Structure 1
Amino acid sequence: MELILTNAKIYTPTEIIEPGTIVIEDGIIKQIMEGKVKDGIDLEGKIVAPGFIDTHIHGCYGFDANDGESSRFQMMGKMLVRHGVTSFIPTTVTDSHENLLRISREVGKIIEKYKEDKGARILGLHLEGPYINPKKKGAQNPEYIRKPDFGEFMEYWKASNGSIREITIAPEVEGAIEFIENVTRLGVIVQLGHTDATYEEAKRAIIAGATKATHLFNAMRGIHHREVGVVGACLESESVYLEMICDLIHLSPQIIKLVYKLVGPYRIALVTDAISATGLPDGRYTLGGLDVIVQGGICRLLDGTLAGSTLTMDKAIKNLVSIGIPLRDALIMASYVPAKAIGERDIGILRPGCKADFVVLDDNLIVVQTYINGRLVFERNT
């Protein structure tokens, strides 16, 4: 089965082809070429870009990853395509051993049964905790924070059928370095987060295998001119990818632009850190059993601590463009970098041989259509 889309502005996203044509065959990109062809769907100059990849999302539209039911993960994927997301990693917060074990098992089941016509592809599970520093717990339940336990982690790993893709850990806690070495050997992406680590402690973790920073700046020791801490270590280390929540609440426009100026677009991975309130009205919600009040779209615990976000990936891209970052680079941060950071080579980029996961945007960067494996899974009503 062949699909041809033509007369588009194609962001691969590293290259821009205008006008361009993309040919899809059996769910795979067959050809991308310059110019317009007669036999194809005329997109009238609309933007075609790789599908967005959200590797840190707790929930949306009333669904919470910590509920741990496979049907809820599927429903999250079904709703996320509205925002151009074609792949995602549901993310848990610190929880009891029993619940994390149950969630791991359910993720393994849903990945095995995944069908692209039902919604965004689930790439695995991200455990944000429980091996973090209580001093930087953020919106994590302190009752369940504990020291790294590789034996416990292996229970999650086996229950998930090897589907745990990422884990966030504080590198300064007892046993963290050995733990990082062990899970890295399994191919799990280790992220540094919810941490009060010094520069030296963070560097030891990076040497041990850590390759990502969990929502850079948020819930971690900041930069001081005599101790640049974990933020400084992550910025300095070219092997480390940097998660950023670009809702303009978690991070100011000035710090976003500063990091972009320092490292460029190829190390910044946009994430939403979205919770179940995303896509729903203000009100009272929960995150990992903690009460969250959402007012004006901002999520906070009762003590005022930021508790995730109601951000979507399409909105994050609009935010970046609004503060002066080129659309090409914003799209790189939303697709190419998230894929590269977790070792996925056939998504996050439009080129022959890759999966035909892409989004069609209008001039206002509104999602018009979303395709997964060459299938139309969402179309906005005009």
Structure 2
Amino acid sequence: MKSTGEISGRIVTPRGIIDGTVSFKDGHIVAVSGNPAADNGLASTGLTLVPGFIDLHNHGGLGGAFPTGTVEQARRAAQFHRSQGATILLASLVSAPPEELIKQVEVLKELCAEGLLFGIHLEGPFINACRCGAQNPDFIYPGNPEDFGQIIGAAAGWIKSITIAPETPNLVALLELCVQHGIIVSFGHTDADFETTTHAISQATALGLKVTATHLFNAMPPLHHRAPGAAGAMLAAARNGEAFVELVADGVHLSDGTVDFARSERAFFVSDAIEAAGMPDGNYILGVLEVEVQGGVARLKNGGAIAGGTSTIAQQFRRHVARGMTLCDATQLSSTTASRVLGLRQHAIEVNAPLNIVALDSQGQVAAVYVKEI
């Protein structure tokens, strides 16, 4: 990719939509010029330019699996999602014995150091086996600060997020490790009620932690008007500015109506993609469990639970813009809010920001990705 040049089209900026040109030099944006334009969907001709997509929950793609793959397999997965516009990506693991998690974070930290991955997300093992979803319940166990500390040490600073059940033992000790190492705590895979989840969120925020919900509504009790459960607690916390919530907005994990219901300035899209993303229907693996993909929907062969996703953030962006969502709202959900979760100061198409742009054609397909190389 050229480090100096310019690109024109309909541009989503922090101050609204313009038709214009972005100029960049040495990997930074040096000028953004143009005239105001309507926020009425993708450009009918030419390109639409949006900030690079951010995916904070991703298990792989194009046949490469972050939980079990080699460096080269993980690199293939990361490069696939980069080609589809996810310029900032966390590699998600699943519950496994601590020695296996240590082994895999040592694999992935090489790609983190290269700048291909932004970091690592541990989805377990300190979750609730009764809400295991597509994770092996044999590898799920109560919160163990010693094990967590060893995994953190092996990752050499690249653990950015961990999914924990609010009801797991030793929660405060786990949260304190998150504070020490700058790790986001994401509550999920839980059977906790509203009160337990709310208390856990309060404990985390009192320590100054960033809090998210792991794939809201999935792997937690259904929302009920007399028992709002973990999902209700996370939505209430988001409304109060105490948490952010992940939405797998692919039409499989959540209906489009549920996405509309849960949308806010503190919600963001994630793919929950597995190695089947970008691949045809067939048989795949998530962790150690066999997965079958039919019609683009991944389910465990044994039991039929949804087993991660096959979409990309770009596909979710395209899906919801096609439904009538504005470009600004779709950008917030696919990029801007997640950048706040990560604490990124300049993840936007504006002067002085690092070059980080996805160009979409009139059908919403990724035409080009412009990103400052590390």
Fold shared per TM-score above 0.5: yes
Match of 2:159 among 152, 164, 176: 164
Give 1:280 deviation, angstroms. 1.1
Q: Check whether the contact 2:11–2:18 (CA below 8 A) recurs between aligned residues.
A: yes
SS for the counterpart of 2:317 is helix
- Farther-moved stretch of structure 1 (74-83 vs 226-235): 74-83
Q: What's 1:310 paired with?
A: 310
- Inter-partner Cα distance in structure 2 for 1:83 and 1:2: 22
The alpha-carbon deviation at position 176 of structure 1 amounts to 1.9
Gaps of 5+ in 2: 37-43, 205-209
CA shift, 1:35, in A, is 4.9
Residues 24 and 374 in structure 1, CA contact (< 8 A), matched pair in contact too: no
Q: Is the 8 A contact 2:67 2:94 kept in 1?
A: yes
4+ runs of 1 displaced by more than 3 Å? none
Question: Which amino acid is the alignment partner of residue 30 of structure 1?
Answer: V
| 1:372 shift after superposition | 1.2
* Contact preservation (8 Å) 2:63, 2:73: no
* Paired residues for 1:207-246 under 5 Å: 207-209=202-204, 211-237=211-237, 238-246=241-249
Q: Quote the Cα distance in structure 2 between the aligned partners of 1:189 and 1:223.
A: 24
CA 1:319 to 1:113, structure 2 compared with 1: closer, same or farther past 3 Å?
closer
Structure 1: which 5+ residue stretches go unaligned? 37-42, 115-120, 376-382
C-alpha deviation, 1:374, in angstroms: 7.2
Aligned ranges 1:268-307 → 2 under 5 Å: 268-302=267-301, 303-307=303-307
Q: How far does the alpha carbon of each residue in 1:288-341 deviate from its partner, in whole angstroms, 9 at most, with x for none?
A: 110111111101012110000111111101221233322221121111111111
Pick aligned residue for 1:181 from 176, 179, 182? 176
Residue of structure 1 equivalent to 2:351 = 352
TM-score with structure 1 length normalisation?
0.89
Provide the residue aligned with 1:126 in structure 2. 121
Q: Percent identity?
A: 33
Asked if structure 1 preserves the Cα contact closer than 8 Å seen for 2:50 and 2:359, the reply is: yes
CA distance in 1, matches of 2:290, 2:216: 24
What is the SS of the residue equivalent to 1:19? strand
Q: Deviations over 1:127-183 (max 9, x none)?
A: 000000011000001111011111111111111111000000001122223312331
Aligned to 1:101: 102
Query: C-alpha root-mean-square deviation of aligned residues, in Å?
Result: 1.9
User: Per the alignment, in what secondary structure is the counterpart of residue 277 of structure 1?
Assistant: coil
Equivalent position SS for 2:358:
strand
In 2, are the aligned partners of 1:51 and 1:358 still within 8 Å (CA)? yes
What displacement does 1:345 show? 2.1
Partner of 2:40: none
Give the structure-2-normalised TM-score.
Answer: 0.90
Are the counterparts in 2 of residues 184 and 190 from structure 1 also a CA contact under 8 Å? no
Equivalent pair of 1:105/1:156 in contact (CA under 8 Å): no
Structure 2 residue aligned with 1:204? 199
Q: Do 1:131 and 1:145's aligned partners in 2 also have CA atoms closer than 8 Å? A: yes
Quote the Cα distance in structure 2 between the aligned partners of 1:170 and 1:180.
Answer: 12
- Verify: 1:332 aligned to 2:310, yes or no: no
